[in-house]
Structure 1
Amino acid sequence: MRKAILLTNGLFNTENAKTAHGLVRESNRFKIVGVVDHVFAGSDAGVLLDGKHRHIPVYATVAEAITAKPELCIVGVATSGGVFPGTLLNEVKQAIELKLDIVNGLHDHLNERPEIRALAEKNKVVLVDIRKPKKLPELHFWTGKIFDIKTPIVAVIGTDCALGKRTAARLAVNACNNAGLNAQMIYTGQTGWLQGGKYGFILDATLNDFVSGELEHAILTCYEETNPDIIFIEGQSALRNPTGPCGSEMLISGNAKSVILVTAPKRKYYEHEPAWGEIPSPESEIALIQQLGSAVIAIAINTEHCSEAEALAFQKQYEEKFKMPVMLPLQEGCEKILPVIKSLCKS
């Protein structure tokens, strides 16, 4: 794995840095050796994230981060609209001048900026825009072959954006694999690829006509190459988030008949914006998923703004109300779902 540093430009403690958060927690594609964030310089990124020391120092500048001997630099933020925030683009330029290859997951493609491209050519640096749409001949249209797969497919869907759907999916996969099952994950966002995902596609960089087909193709390829016991699909956005409703593709085109629902009990509005509307209750979301032909088999709680006591209280409340496993993924992992998954695999 190539050594990499992450750029978060003062946003490490926000939801905008979820790409960096995922890579700090786990990456099978890159070895993360540092984070560049002037606000949190001097800290350990793991301690900042969840209190776990991961020996990933936070530096004030790219020049300081060079002491970690990185080979490349990853843009570690995922902003609304996928644009470069603040002075992050200046940090990208500094990294290029220090001969670091750049991996960018924003919609704002570096290769389409003449001055950045010229600077990269001058310094013999490679620019990788992973959210660049595929060319038409590379895309797949939906075929219906998904219905031939008998392996259970579980979609990890949230009631809003930035709730930890990808993290919950990865932890569920890890729990299954540790229990002796062959579990695979279909990534649908740039961070899933950055973490080392082999099967998947970047949904919001895909022409709408081909989203269903790309999802089906990823699942079929995964099935043919790995013969899995269970397949998890990373969800995106939420079924009713007005800024980008998403999720029905997983249930209908991806034939995911089972769902892990991720929700944050203390989050009231979509992406914390009152003007965008209130997030429906878990009961309402479960009912909607049933209307789409699938069933919620477990709930995962995002404990933002919760004390430990409040998180445990919500977990107990939901277990009593919904009569299904309720997980605290970051605090306890996802082992609680194993009996349900093993039952699906036997059916």
Structure 2
Amino acid sequence: MPLTTTCHMNKNAIVITHGLLNTNQAKTAHGLVRDTSQYQVLGIIDQVSAGRDVREIVSQAPGPIPIYASLGECLNSASEPINYCLVGVAGHGGKIPPGMLDTVKEALKSKMHIINGLHEYLSDLPEVAQLAEKNGVTITDIRKPKPKDQLHFWEGGIYNIPALKIAMLGTDCNLGKRTTTRLLLHALHQANINAEMIYTGQTGWMQDNRFGFIFDSTLNDFISGEIEAAIVQCYRAVNPQVILLEGQSSLRNPGGPGGSEFLVSGEAKQVVLQHAPARKYFSGYEHLNVEIPTLESEIELISLYGSEVIGISLNIEGLTLEEARQYQQRYQQELGVTTLLPLYDDFTELINTIRPLL
């Protein structure tokens, strides 16, 4: 089910990936290629994949976006002014890849605003900040924590929100939870169901930053309150029937467990669970042989929180499509839960599961 991209406010943008476009470190770029309501992506800067069709790299990309070897090449080819440069990578530890800083500086000299979702803040680098000021542009470090006076404690207002809240969780990180969330969001809209999404990561912010917060840059004391506040704000603003909560990491990923907050503090009684059948170890910890628990045990754990898995979404990395279909059929039969390949299937069956819950 391809996504559509709608742009607002003439935000023409390039995405820089510095040779990483064809890796899972470029998941931010992949998300922006598939779907963004904030920016019109006119090009990608990636010296390794330059000249290729982006649809060969990003599954279900809705259309061709040129990939250039350098920013200079992009600017020489662009038919419209480009005023935003989006950092399209999100590697382990959130550091700026070596060499990418040169492209950032070049973009600033070309009077582009910088949007950065990494943990390393570009605005804290004096030479970069000075370049931005000199050229009259801004640097937005999405992961900079909010001031404490803008953060919320959990207060219980969630109990007054009658919208159906669905947590989009996974058995690991880097599985495609956000992509599935966006796909389901569009499918709900196409089914004439009023739905909204609460983003919780930097890519979600870049795609549509109306309702949400950055989970991994929020002080732990305020995570529950920020989830609640985002849901309450969303409901009061647009009165949706369904609110989708973008999950982060997984309930049992030792490097950063997350998910219980959506079930407990966000009162999500329904869950769509993302899983990669071919992935044996938690992402980034393969050298430690830390195995991902079984899908069956994850469903059982979620049920202990008082929530129900109403859908399973499969990431098919390491599998052929035929092998993925076999897993899909097996899970559907053995677990009795709607199972889909989000980049290949429509969401009709899942919509039919959700509709009676409204």
TM-score bucket of the superposed structures, by smaller chain: over 0.9
Aligned to 1:59: 68
1:289 aligns with 2:302: yes
RMSD: 1.2
Specify which of 244, 253, 260 is matched with residue 248 of structure 1.
260
Answer whether contact 1:168 1:334 (CA < 8 A) is retained.
no
Structure 1 residues 333, 78: closer, same or farther in 2, change over 3 A?
A: farther
Aligned length: 345
Look up the SS of the partner of 1:84 in the other structure: coil
For residue 270 of structure 1, report the CA deviation from its aligned partner: 0.4
1:111-260 correspondence runs (5 A): 111-260=123-272
Aligned to 2:51: 42
Can you list the C-alpha shifts for 1:200-239, whole angstroms capped at 9, x where unaligned? Answer: 1111111111111011000001111111111110000111
Which whole-Å CA distance do the structure 2 matches of 1:207 and 1:231 have between them?
24
Answer whether contact 1:25 1:46 (CA < 8 A) is retained.
no
For residue 339 of structure 1, report the CA deviation from its aligned partner: 1.2
After superposing the two structures, state which structure 1 stretch, 59-68 or 14-23, moved more. 59-68
1:110 aligns with 2:122: yes
For residue 334 of structure 1, report the CA deviation from its aligned partner: 2.5
Aligned to 1:280: 293
Name the TM-score, length of structure 2 as normaliser. 0.94
Structure 1 residues 200, 238: closer, same or farther in 2, change over 3 A?
A: same
Aligned to 1:335: 348
For residue 148 of structure 1, report the CA deviation from its aligned partner: 1.7
Which whole-Å CA distance do the structure 1 matches of 2:111 and 2:234 have between them?
36
For residue 336 of structure 1, report the CA deviation from its aligned partner: 2.2
Which whole-Å CA distance do the structure 1 matches of 2:247 and 2:346 have between them?
18
Can you list the C-alpha shifts for 1:246-267, whole angstroms capped at 9, x where unaligned? Answer: 0000000000011000000000
Q: Mark the runs of 5 or more structure 2 residues left unpaired by the alignment.
A: 1-7
Look up the SS of the partner of 1:82 in the other structure: coil
1:14-93 correspondence runs (5 A): 14-50=23-59, 52=61, 54-66=63-75, 67-68=77-78, 69-93=81-105
Equivalent position amino acid for 2:114 in 1: I
Which whole-Å CA distance do the structure 2 matches of 1:169 and 1:122 have between them?
39
Equivalent position amino acid for 1:283 in 2: E
Higher helix share: 1
Look up the SS of the partner of 2:93 in the other structure: helix
Specify which of 306, 317, 327 is matched with residue 304 of structure 1.
317
Which whole-Å CA distance do the structure 1 matches of 2:228 and 2:250 have between them?
20
Equivalent position amino acid for 2:37 in 1: N
Which whole-Å CA distance do the structure 2 matches of 1:45 and 1:101 have between them?
24
Answer whether contact 1:44 1:53 (CA < 8 A) is retained.
no
Aligned to 1:4: 13
After superposing the two structures, state which structure 1 stretch, 259-268 or 291-300, moved more. 291-300
Which whole-Å CA distance do the structure 2 matches of 1:30 and 1:276 have between them?
40
Aligned to 2:106: 94
Can you list the C-alpha shifts for 1:60-98, whole angstroms capped at 9, x where unaligned? Answer: 011111132311100000111111112111211121122
Look up the SS of the partner of 2:114 in the other structure: strand
1:318 aligns with 2:337: no
Which whole-Å CA distance do the structure 2 matches of 1:256 and 1:129 have between them?
30
Answer whether contact 1:19 1:76 (CA < 8 A) is retained.
yes
Look up the SS of the partner of 2:208 in the other structure: coil
Name the TM-score, length of structure 1 as normaliser. 0.97
Q: Mark the runs of 5 or more structure 1 residues left unpaired by the alignment.
A: none
Which whole-Å CA distance do the structure 2 matches of 1:285 and 1:270 have between them?
14
Look up the SS of the partner of 2:343 in the other structure: helix
Look up the SS of the partner of 1:271 in the other structure: coil
